[in-house]
Chain A
């Protein structure tokens, strides 16, 4: 079955440590996204990528970095510069992002819950 796989499901970060969250999709989607979810705040966009080797900052990119070397993969690194990393992180994908085109519903993985040790 096609879908989005996020790993690990739970992750713990020590102070000063960078950690990387994995996101893989086999939907052949061009666009991929990372969101952060905090209780009572909905989802906030961290980074998104419309195509391989290209990505854009979202609304809360500070303290995070991404890469998009393959169409299927969009890993997120939470750096030590992110002072409040405890949250539920969701990866999503959509067929494409075309200016003037019909938005496609975004498909979501089951998330990674990150906590500080």
Chain B
């Protein structure tokens, strides 16, 4: 069965410092991996995805994520955090290849709090 784990309910970081939001996954076969951000009372916004190729993926708003197959991880990173990055972040996975149904499995979310 596919699953996603975001081990931290909340991450606190000072503005200007680097940030990491962790994600590990479990899927049979090769994964598609996604990060989304949600601001209060809004829908999810797509940040970035990994399909294949370079393990370091760059996305919107200066975010990037590193795919690590051996550790089954896809951590979200940003070199210098902004107060406006404070939001709820979701990691998601689906399986590609035969049997791909397009369905995403989401982690439970991590709240990022960036303090001035």
Grouping DSSP codes into helix (H, G, I), strand (E, B) and loop, the B interface class, with mixed when no group exceeds half, is: loop
Report the minimal beta-carbon distance from A115 to chain B, rounded to whole angstroms: 13
Q: Is A54 an interface residue (CB 8 A)?
A: no
Contact of A106 (CB < 8 Å), options: B41, B97, B104, B109: B104
Nearest A residue (CB) for B104: A106
Chain B interface residue count, CB cutoff 8 Å, equals: 28
Q: Which residues of B contact A97 (CB under 8 A)?
A: 100-103
Which of A44, A50, A99, A107 has the most chain B CB atoms closer than 10 A to its own CB? Answer: A99
> Which of the 9-residue segments A35-43, A60-68, A77-85 touches chain B?
A35-43
Known A-B contacts A105-B49, A111-B41; A98 and B106 likewise in contact (beta carbons under 8 Å): no
1/0 per residue A26-51: CB within 8 Å of B?
Answer: 00000100000000111111001010
Q: How far is the CA of A42 from the CA of B91 in the complex (A)?
A: 9
Q: Is B34 an interface residue (CB 8 A)?
A: yes
Chain A interface residue count, CB cutoff 8 Å, equals: 31
In contact, A110 and B51 (Cβ under 8 angstroms): no
Q: How far is the CA of A108 from the CA of B100 in the complex (A)?
A: 21
Could you write out 24 A-B pairs with CB less than 8 Å apart? A6-B43, A31-B102, A40-B108, A41-B108, A42-B107, A42-B108, A43-B44, A43-B90, A43-B106, A94-B102, A98-B100, A99-B99, A100-B98, A100-B100, A101-B96, A101-B100, A102-B51, A102-B96, A103-B51, A106-B46, A106-B104, A108-B43, A111-B43, A113-B41
Report which B residues bind A (CB closer than 8 A). 4, 9, 32, 34, 36, 41-46, 49, 51, 90, 94, 96-104, 106-109
